[in-house]
Structure 1
Amino acid sequence: MTAFWKANQRKLAPWLFLAPGLLMFAVYVIGPIFESMWISLYDWDGLGEARWIGTANYVELFDDDAFYTSLKNNVIWLVLYMLAVPAGLLIAIFLNQTITGIRIYKSLFFFPFVISQVVVGLMFSWFYAPDFGLFYKLIEVFTGQGIAILAEDRFVTYGIIAAGLWPQIAYVMILYLTGLNNVAPDQVEAARLDGAKGWRMLWYVILPQLRPATFIAVVVTVIGALRSFDLVSIMTDGGPFGSSRVLSFYMYEQALSEYGYRMGYGAAIAVVLFAIMMVFISGFIWKMWRDETER
């Protein structure tokens, strides 16, 4: 055994360090994923006896208007949440300068990242509140009539997304600030000598070196958009009339709230949400791997 360890120490040592993390990942991530898939094939209230129904939950799901409303809202979340990536990049480029008071600016832009999503939801609920909310008052001043954003099914999803974008942009900004610290200064100087500046410098010199940060920013933004539960729960509880539901909230509503206790149906929604998430993330990973192998 000692001879085997000495001969393979370099190969085995990394796996020994990784073993605790891999074990936790398998128990708390991989295991529950497969368990959710299994539960989705049952009719179960979470306490009594589970009854096998096969794919009946999925058949019901794709004939459920509330599911399509939630799916549509998730698509809107996904599209608009991607605005966090260019916005975070532009703010990071601004904060990467050495100007007077830059630390104060960094603190102000960093602030949304460190506060709880619950606090963000409450702040924006007051911001949109009829009669006394700042946004309501501003709209009233300019148009003569205020708009109760969270009570209008036409606007409620966009209002919640705006609340979510505030901390998400701060998160992306931090990722890009870290990436900008690793940009090779010699390449920047060489580009300046060749006459590159402004957008050309950004597009041809800076952005190629920020690919890892961009990949992480896109992945966490996609995940954040698809698992948007807390703001919906805090700000509207899925209302008005279920118009602001997203898949993660609808999953909770069906499986764990007083309206449902349908664990199998909730698990089916979770499986669909997981599949959508994996399509996007797998696509990003494949593209990044292809770009790396072509270099």
Structure 2
Amino acid sequence: MIITGNDVDGISDLKASLHHTFEMKDLGSLSYFLGLEVISTDDGIYLSQAKYASDLLARAGITDSRTESTPIEPNVRFTPMDGTILDNLTLYRQLVGGLVYLTVTRPYIAYPVHVLSQFLSAPRTTHYAAVLRILRYVKGTLFHGLYFSAHSSLTLQAYSDADWAGDPTDRCFTTGYCLFLGDALISWRAKKQTFTARSSTEAAYRAFADTTAGAFQSSPTDVFCDNRSAIQIAHNDVFHERTKHIEIDCHFVRQRILIDAVHLIGVGTLDQTADIFTKSHHPTRFRALLSKLKLVSLAPT
């Protein structure tokens, strides 16, 4: 059990009550928990999984110094028929499972890990090579992590994006979002939808619905999107007749706008931070998006 807060007396009373009821041991301030490394200072909290990442690299047998500039090859699209079936299915599943857990502090690998998770039932050589590429990128960014400043503002902002018809097998689309509390990245998601969108506008609107569902605060949350048509639909009832196939999401998002819970704001594609959660990118673009996530790298002491 982890107990946090700034009420010292309250924490002491709670620990005393728990000791009275259960057989427990006080391990002091949190520094390591389930592969998650925590460094606390007066200025904030730093979260990393450097040791966990190192163990994952060892399990994959990666011992050389080679690294990659991006976690996934630019513009690559995977299918269930790529390459040949692997002899060792278990290792692939273990590595992908380990990478899923590594996304706790490395949001920028969420998209490629999500893609490769779709082939767990019958992974092939091409998919395994892609897993090794992610790991080699991790090797070069071993001490990357999240930082939560004690002096950050409490303003919530969200970015919402979609990759329309991006899957080459079934043309389903991928949605992605990320939420910032001040400068701190606190929530993100990359998800392939289970149906095909009829337009890029529908795909963007579905992403809106996912994003706004998680954006709760006392003042309106700014949600940035690079699809102008989707923003028009959200603000104008006239467009609803043309979009009955997404009527539920239309009503949901419009209700959030009407109660002043969210503000939808147009943003250029180059400034769309959530783009990193919906598709692969060339190194220059990837680095630009990565810088927007406000992650930090803390070398070992």
Q: TM-score, normalised by structure 1?
A: 0.24
Is the radius of gyration larger for structure 1 or structure 2? 1
Higher relative contact order (CA 8 A, sep 6+): 1
Greater helix fraction, Structure 1 or Structure 2: 1
The TM-score, its normalising length taken from structure 2, stands at 0.23
Structure with more of its chain in strand, by fraction: 2
